Every structure is written in C-alpha cells, then in structure tokens.
C-alpha cells in the first residue's frame, strides 16, 4: 500500500525507487528528514547520515558487505535481494550489516556539495566520492553487485557502479557476489537452462556492455571517473564488468 510522505507529498510504496524516496534536487525526503536534527559525528554540524540516527545491534553495526546498486532500483527489490542473500548464505538478517551509500553517506552534505558546484562556489569540505566509495570497497572487502533486471541490468549503465566493481576487481582479496531479486534469479536460471534463446539473451546483454556509455547523475562525476580512473583500462574493463555475471550463471 502506498503511503504519502508528509514532507514531499509523494505517495511511496515498496515499488518506489531510492530516487523517489530521496530526491536530492527537491525538498528533504525520507532519508534527510530522518537525520535533519541529528548532529553529524564527522563534521559536528547539524544534519547527519541516516545511519547515524540508528541505535542497537538490531539496526546498526560494522558492515561486512557493501551493496553496489543503482538509486533507480526499488526499495522492495533491494530488500528482497538482501533477504535472499542472507537466506542463501545462512546469515541472520538482524546481524548482517551492509553498507549502502544512500544511508551511510551524509546526504545533507551531498546536497550542499551540489549546490556549491552549481553556484561556482568552493565547498568548505568538498566530498571526495572517489575516496568514499573506493576505500569502502577495499576496507569492507565484499561487494554485492545488484544486477536487475537481468536482461538489461541498470547496474551496468551507471558509472559509479562500474567504478565500484572495477575497484573490487583491482583489490586483492576483495570478494564480489552478483545478487538480484529472487524473481530475476529464477527467470535467469529458467531462461538459461531451459532454452537456447535465454543464454543468447544473456550473452547479448553482456556483449552490449560499453563502459564509456555509462551515466551518472552528475556529468562531472562521469567524466572524472572515465578520465582519471578508467580510460587507461577501457580495453579490458567491459570484460571486468561482464565476467562476474557469467560466473554467477555457470
């Protein structure tokens, strides 16, 4: 059942995407509203990351996994994917802590950062997303790359997602698991195992992966990632993105 958000006036449900529950170009949504009156323990200013509002081991703890995903995914699909991952690996959902950027990065500062960029002003403490995402991948050491829908994953069209899986690939000892909503996994397995068309569709999807065409919410982010990090490796980067998906199936 859809529920109206008091701040934005939007009706939200499990089918709502992260973009819909927290539009960084609009008024505070679910995430920023929850943390608006919490002092950030990092910079001491009002407005914190969502995770800093949580207490108790049933709700927060040191992350053993990092979810690499798109803000275009729905809340329901993300929950189903992580629940399925826990069940498949005999993990207690109440004690399985997963780092997600929407909840663990201070979105108040992201909005401030974007506003300064657009105005031409220099932010007092500009957010270094390369360090945030890159260091989290290395420190946590276990990346969950969420691929959905499997025939045309949004994941491989988002440059930050590709940066994360690329960083994991280059980090020794970092594990990568491909995860997806149960219905997508069932559809993939059935199509691949039951008919030749399914496996051809998979190869076509992977073959169409072009890292240089990946998008970002901020064009400056896309150009920075491609220029500073990925262009020297584009010759094999497409295969880096595709390989885990092939291994997942076979």
Q: Report pLDDT for 202.
A: 65
3 pLDDT more than 70: no
Per the DSSP assignment, residues forming a β-bridge with 74 are: 17
CA angle 37, 101, 35 (to 5 degrees): 5
How much is the pLDDT for 128? Answer: 74
- Per-residue pLDDT tens over the stretch 146-156: 988 887 788 88
Q: What is the pLDDT of residues 53-73, one digit of tens each?
A: 999 999 999 999 999 999 999
191, containing H or E segment: helix 182-194
| Strand ranges across the sheet with 98-99 | 98-99, 65-68, 142-146, 175-179
Q: What is the pLDDT of residues 120-139, one digit of tens each?
A: 444 445 567 777 888 888 89
- Which of 20-34, 153-167, 220-234 is predicted least confidently? 220-234
Average pLDDT, stretch 206-212?
68
Tokens 């699909």 belong to residue: 77
| pTM for this model (two decimals) | 0.83
Which range (158-162, 218-222, 237-241) has the least confidence?
237-241
């Amino acid at each position: 059942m859809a529920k109206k958000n008091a701040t934005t006036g939007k009706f939200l449900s499990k089918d709502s995407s992260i973009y819909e529950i927290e539009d960084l170009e609009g008024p505070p949504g679910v995430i920023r509203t929850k943390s608006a009156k919490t002092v950030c323990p990092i910079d001491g200013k009002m407005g914190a990351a969502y995770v800093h509002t949580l207490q108790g081991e049933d709700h927060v703890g040191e992350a053993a996994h990092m979810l690499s995903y798109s803000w275009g995914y729905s809340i329901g699909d993300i929950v189903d994917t992580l629940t399925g991952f826990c069940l498949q690996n005999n993990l207690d959902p109440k004690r399985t802590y997963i780092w997600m950027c929407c909840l663990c990065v201070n979105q108040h500062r992201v909005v401030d950062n974007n506003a300064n960029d657009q105005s031409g002003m220099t932010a007092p403490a500009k957010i270094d997303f390369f360090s945030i995402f890159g260091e989290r991948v290395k420190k946590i050491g276990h990346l969950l790359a969420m691929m959905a829908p499997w025939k045309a994953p949004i994941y491989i069209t988002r440059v930050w997602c590709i940066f994360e899986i690329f960083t994991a690939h280059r980090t020794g000892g970092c594990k990568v698991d491909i995860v997806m909503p149960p219905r997508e996994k069932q559809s993939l397995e059935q199509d691949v195992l039951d008919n030749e068309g399914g496996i051809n569709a998979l190869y076509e999807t992977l073959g169409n992966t072009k890292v240089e065409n990946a998008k970002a919410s901020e064009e400056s982010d896309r150009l920075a990632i491609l220029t500073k990090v990925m262009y020297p490796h584009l010759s094999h980067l497409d295969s880096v993105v595709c390989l885990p998906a092939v291994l997942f199936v076979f």
